[in-house]
Amino acid sequence: MEIRMDFLNCLDHDTSMKILRCLEDPSDLVRASYVSRSWRDFVIANGLCKQLCLSMFPHLLRVDCVIEPSCVMEKASEVGCSKFVEWETLKREHKAYAFLAQACLSFPFDDCIKDAISASSTDNYPEESIRNTLQKGDRVGRRPSYWSSKGQRKAAVPETLVYKLVADICVITEINIQPFQAYFQQGSPIYSAESVRFHLGHPKCPMDDTLGEPLDNCADDKFIWTYSSPEFPMAQERSLQNFKLPEPVVCIGGILQIELLRRVQRQEMDGLFYICVAHVQVKGRPLSSAFGVEILGPSGKFVLKTLSSAPRSSLPPSLPEDDALYHGVPLQGLADLEQVVNGLGVEVLDEDWNSEDDEAADEMDDELAF
């Protein structure tokens, strides 16, 4: 007869934590929580999914709390103990952070720009509006399509373009920009910037879904920037240029600012420096089908809302819809914990598997059936 053992029951708390923290894939940690009731309780009670998610995406440290708008929790007085509320909160966070971490890695890539909000200046409005940058290429029919700044005598004067993203929570990986080549001017000059930098954040006050016409001179004090990228050099070329962020960034609040630094092209007819952009594209993973956010004032903290009504098709394929998927079958994809234990030099007694854990595993509900 095969002897099974639950080595977590044979180890002290710190060693068990050290072992399970070696799991670097959120789906592995979820699968580990399905091994038995005791493993599930250990993972939830110690917030391991939350810890993993925050280590992967530090911007989520600004989460103040997690709520499920469609779920009404029983009053603590009705269950007789405040520990019930604490345990329900831990379970809710476990489910939310496990799903969120996997969603940030596996939701499909898409174009993340919804609309243009403002430009720091526009030379000829609306013919050269920032909204033209939402169109692919540099022409619409026979008409040139681009945004142009106002002319400046000093090349060092920067310009900014601000956009609304498709969701209040997006994982942004890259931004693509195509400078405009004025093919109708002598010499076909290209009005690029020398370099570019990106800022992600949220508005200080709620914004309407219908933004109306883009504005000029939209002040920075309307937004809080929670991420600023390194400065990237921009080539004076007509091509769609790719600027990949050093690592994926979770944008909370759905606002992107493109900062165009230093002008390189002077217009022959007036001797002023301009920057012109034909097209802007933002690539990432919108999470609006599964999560919402509520910004808590200027503090930058926010409430993470898990949308229980999200369609199953939006869920990451590596997270189970039914806990039965992991009962009595091999845990495919789960890191070999025995190797982890051996690597730590931990000695585990050869004891029988706790039958109560085995029975509890068969009785587990579908609280993690995302």
338-354 per-position pLDDT tens digit: 444 444 444 443 333 44
Contact 307/67 with Cβ under 8 angstroms? Answer: no
Q: How far apart are CA 47 and CA 58, in angstroms?
A: 16
Higher pLDDT, 210 or 359: 210
Phi–psi pair at 59, nearest 5 degrees = -65, -20
- Please name the helix (run of DSSP H) or strand (run of DSSP E) that holds residue 114, with its range, or none: strand 113-119
Residue 180 has a pLDDT of 98
Q: Report the first-to-last Cα separation within the chain, whole angstroms.
A: 36
pLDDT band at 215 (very low <50, low <70, confident <90, very high): low
Contact 241/192 with Cβ under 8 angstroms? Answer: no
98-138 per-position pLDDT tens digit:
999 989 998 999 999 999 999 999 999 999 999 999 999 99
Q: How far apart are CA 237 and CA 48, in angstroms?
A: 47
Mean pLDDT of 296-307: 84
62-97 per-position pLDDT tens digit:
999 998 876 655 444 445 578 888 898 899 899 999
Q: Kindly report the average pLDDT of the chain as a whole number.
A: 81
b/e 66-82 (16+ beta carbons within 10 angstroms → b): bbeeeeeeeeeeeeeee
Q: Is the pTM of this model over 0.85?
A: no
Higher pLDDT, 109 or 317: 109
